[in-house]
Structure 1
Amino acid sequence: MTSPLTALAGLISSGVQTLESAYAKEGLSFPSLDQPFSPGPLDKDPDVAATTRLIVAAAHQIIATVRAPMDTIQDYAPAMYMSATLGLAVDVNVADVLKDAGTQGLHVHDIGEKVDIDEVKLARVLRYLATRHVFKEVTPNVFSNNRISSVLVKAHPLEQLKTDKLTKYEDAPAAAFVGHCTDEALASSAFLAEYIHEAPADVDAPFNLALKTPSKLWNWYEEPGNEWRGRRFNAAMKGGGEHFPSTLFTEGYDWKSLKPGSTVVDVGGSVGTVTILLHKAYPHLKYILQDLEPVIGDAKKFWDAQSPKSITDGSVTLQAQDFFQPQTVKNADVYFLRLILHDWPDSANVKILKNIRAVAAPSTKLIIFDSIMPHACPEPGGPPPPPFPLLANLGLPIGGFLTMMDMQMLNIINGQERTLNQFVELGAVTGWKLDGVKPGILAALVFSPA
């Protein structure tokens, strides 16, 4: 039998050959790590993405396999320095300073002058990052952007970035994500162990301990002085949402089976980015978009710009509604929630789902678009395992991201990414039974009244 080490090496070798062949068919070479990122024709190719996931999973597992255990622990334990240095680089706009420096780079003295940081300390920070393949040290103390750091370049000119904090992260999702993770989330993570160990009854999440606030994250973002952080968070989430293909929603349920005029309620649907996808694909249905009053105000502007006729002809209705309050739309054919449940603990989700169940008709369907947390081990009746000897959840590319998101949810809002069984259990205690699941990077879980 092939040894785990040989099998992992084989996965990497065959995967690399597959990638290079795919790029060769397009007349391209595989992108260099030393060059700034440039969008290419294979960036969203599903086969390339699947091969990449296998390579990354195998590469991380082979490192964990061959490296001395203590070396791995010494890598993981001080990982906060990656967050701290990356956050600093984004905050002071290093990638933006290097944007026009080209591959020859810029001396740290000149970078330091532009970002107003001591060059010796800045060189230490950038060398730490370059050693981990974020930025490149071209010659001693001379740094340039590379494929990874170039995605941190923001959309506005450098002088505007320095003076206008409110708009700093607009149209810069990668920088916004880093900023959020390395600011309020990093500060909160220092209290994660205390929160789990002591479980203070009057504290929602580690975030509250770290920021010394009783407010939930969403309310904290609206407090004076934090508005720019709220804008940054929204920019990060908007960028994350754009990674989801529209087919996750338009093909996640058999919408064609609904009779003309059937009512579909988007519960907590923000401005309606998913509702508008469904409306364009299935115009025979009636849609009701629900969210809090301020969000519905933004939704009106969104629909006025994108599809004003949908509002005036009554095919789409915008409705202010708090999903913790009794649901006002009764007997709808479909209620759906997109990335709502992972924002809340079970106690809150019980209220949300019971409010919908109270007004559901026997034929009503509840659709939950959310991630399903896979176990790191094989599951009875679960999906086919990946190639030997990879972890059942594929490690870093799939399980790594979702377990990170799970910790992030716990850390800042006491939310949770859930396994399939946890979704089933949540449905059972709120009067819903699971009919089926369409898997994907966001799964579509379809429930009926129990």
Structure 2
Amino acid sequence: MAKTRISELAAIISTKTEIIEQYLRSHNLASPSFDVDYVDPQLPPDIAVCKVTISEATEELNSLLAGPSAFWTTLDTTFLPTIHAIYRFKLASSFPIGGEASFAFIASAVDIPEPDVQRIIRLAITHRIFREPRRGIVTHTAISKAIATIPLLQSFLGLVTEEIWPASTRIVDAIEKWPNSEEPNETGYNLATNQYETYFNGMKKDPDRGKRFADVMNFTHAGGKFERAGLIAHYDWACMSEGLVVELGGSQGMMCFDLARYSPKMKCISQDLPDVVAGVEVPEDLKGRVEVVAHDFFTEQPVKNADAYLFRWIFHDWSDKYSIRILRKLIPALKHGARIVTGKVCLPEPGSISYSIERRMRATDMVMKACLNGRERDVDQWAQLFTKSDSRFNFKGVIRIPGSRWSVIEVIWEDVSV
């Protein structure tokens, strides 16, 4: 009798779990736990991939066993309100790590009614956030400890529950109200907040929001370290090792710093808005080869004849209408053979990768729609974007960075008349 899919998945889970267990034992590392003192170790790539495989197999097994009529059990509408309450009322910080507290004590510390504290925390416990070792007494788990002690995680929870989640609840209304809109102020976020500035313009007027957003970018991309390293390792920079690279929207220049150190004869210019680059200091070892300057990419590019123009985390913020404007403002600066390099998500062919990874990528696409009217793009959509901008943009293709959701999109400017 042929092995069933549920048996195959169980075997995968068992085999990969044993690999992880053997590694942990051989390196004298603790097995995963929700105990408050547990620290998640940094695993090598070949072991870390086992965690991903187990997670994907477990999810599929759960779905198969639940059956097609039980998909609604995954629609937990109470989880985000619970996380929102933990964030807003600072519940995880209301009593010491390693200590315990009564519901009454926590209610007094955060100044909300005890019955509400009780219902929030007891629901959180079912998600393994907090414990109730004795009736009415609360202690921490590794998860609640992380919420209490990692500021960047707190910022992430705040952004998700106070901006992305409300925007997502109104995305359907926005699609209905503004069909086919490409405007950044006609979004679910605008309807949810009842204000009609763009997401980023509104953020400029609220320093706390701006700081929280910057914190979240650092948290979700590990400060950009891994994404920058992948972009450097998986693109052929050697062909311009003594040339000039300009990064648009480069924030405070970290990518250019990394790239210049990787290629010691390369020169780099990082551009971003004046308030972003104000006060940025170029490291001593890079002075003379790297500049960080003010520039708005919706205005004409002032640096002419660079060998490459680099974009990271830019185009998903904008609909095609505005992305085309950005690219056309670049054209007067381009020399024949100049490269336009984009480090970004490239949506996969449906079903070509695991559902869990594809879901994360497509969920990001929905977030871009809800907050910005931006979008993630697949290979064909990237090609169309450049073609619609100008026929002289020659789309060369996409290089997927192994073990990552990120890709490198390469285009070469071909204009023999220049």
When normalised by structure 2's length, the TM-score is 0.90
Long gaps (5+) in structure 2:
none
Asked whether 1:63 is paired with 2:71, we answer: no
Tell me which of 388, 394, 408 is aligned to 2:354.
Answer: 394
Q: Is the 8 A contact 1:338 1:368 kept in 2?
A: yes
> Which residue number in structure 1 is paired with residue 34 of structure 2?
33
- Aligned pairs for 1:117-156 within 5 A: 117-154=112-149
Please tell me the residue identity of whatever aligns with 2:188.
P
Asked whether 1:408 is paired with 2:338, we answer: no
> Which residue number in structure 2 is paired with residue 159 of structure 1?
none
> Which residue number in structure 2 is paired with residue 289 of structure 1?
270
Asked whether 1:435 is paired with 2:411, we answer: no
Asked whether 1:228 is paired with 2:229, we answer: no
> Which residue number in structure 1 is paired with residue 306 of structure 2?
332
SS in 1 for 2:78: helix
Identify if the C-alpha distance between structure 1 residues 375 and 4 changes in structure 2 by more than 3 Å, giving closer, same or farther: farther
Identify if the C-alpha distance between structure 1 residues 265 and 99 changes in structure 2 by more than 3 Å, giving closer, same or farther: farther
Asked whether 1:211 is paired with 2:196, we answer: no
> Which residue number in structure 2 is paired with residue 167 of structure 1?
none
Asked whether 1:449 is paired with 2:413, we answer: yes
SS in 2 for 1:148: helix
Q: Distance in 1 between matches of 2:67 and 2:368?
A: 32
- Distance apart, 1:207 and its partner CA: 0.7
- Distance apart, 1:67 and its partner CA: 0.9
Residue by residue, what CA displacement relative to the aligned partner does 1:393-447 show, whole Å, maximum 9, x if unpaired? Answer: 3222x12322221111111111112222221221222242332433122211221
Q: Distance in 2 between matches of 1:416 and 1:275?
A: 26
SS in 2 for 1:372: strand
Q: Is the 8 A contact 2:97 2:145 kept in 1?
A: no
Q: Is the 8 A contact 1:99 1:153 kept in 2?
A: no
> Which residue number in structure 2 is paired with residue 383 of structure 1?
none
Pick which of 238-247 and 84-93 moved more: 238-247
Identity of aligned residues (%): 24
SS in 2 for 1:106: strand
Q: Distance in 2 between matches of 1:428 and 1:22?
A: 49
Residue by residue, what CA displacement relative to the aligned partner does 1:191-228 show, whole Å, maximum 9, x if unpaired? Answer: 111112332557521111111112111111122xx321
Q: Distance in 2 between matches of 1:21 and 1:179?
A: 38
Aligned-pair Cα RMSD in Å: 2.1
Q: How many residues align?
A: 403
Pick which of 246-255 and 54-63 moved more: 246-255
Asked whether 1:22 is paired with 2:1, we answer: no
Residue by residue, what CA displacement relative to the aligned partner does 1:162-184 show, whole Å, maximum 9, x if unpaired? Answer: xxxxxxxxxx2211111011012
Pick which of 264-273 and 274-283 moved more: 274-283
> Which residue number in structure 2 is paired with residue 80 of structure 1?
77
- Aligned pairs for 1:133-282 within 5 A: 133-154=128-149, 172-199=151-178, 203-223=185-205, 226-242=206-222, 244-245=225-226, 246-260=228-242, 262-282=243-263
- Distance apart, 1:354 and its partner CA: 2.3
SS in 1 for 2:341: strand
- Distance apart, 1:336 and its partner CA: 0.5
Q: Is the 8 A contact 2:252 2:292 kept in 1?
A: no
Q: Is the 8 A contact 1:37 1:148 kept in 2?
A: no
- Distance apart, 1:259 and its partner CA: 4.6
Query: Structure with the greater relative contact order (CA < 8 A, sep ≥ 6): 1 or 2?
Result: 1
Identify if the C-alpha distance between structure 1 residues 256 and 375 changes in structure 2 by more than 3 Å, giving closer, same or farther: closer
- Distance apart, 1:83 and its partner CA: 1.0
SS in 1 for 2:209: helix
Q: Distance in 2 between matches of 1:97 and 1:362?
A: 61
Q: Distance in 2 between matches of 1:149 and 1:100?
A: 9
Identify if the C-alpha distance between structure 1 residues 128 and 302 changes in structure 2 by more than 3 Å, giving closer, same or farther: farther
Identify if the C-alpha distance between structure 1 residues 360 and 2 changes in structure 2 by more than 3 Å, giving closer, same or farther: farther
Residue by residue, what CA displacement relative to the aligned partner does 1:321-371 show, whole Å, maximum 9, x if unpaired? Answer: 111111111211011001111111111111112222342212211110001
Q: Is the 8 A contact 1:37 1:151 kept in 2?
A: no
- Distance apart, 1:49 and its partner CA: 2.2
Identify if the C-alpha distance between structure 1 residues 278 and 193 changes in structure 2 by more than 3 Å, giving closer, same or farther: same
Q: Distance in 1 between matches of 2:290 and 2:251?
A: 14
- Distance apart, 1:17 and its partner CA: 1.0
Q: Distance in 2 between matches of 1:236 and 1:268?
A: 17
Asked whether 1:346 is paired with 2:333, we answer: no
Q: Distance in 1 between matches of 2:225 and 2:15?
A: 28
Q: Distance in 2 between matches of 1:255 and 1:56?
A: 35
When normalised by structure 1's length, the TM-score is 0.84
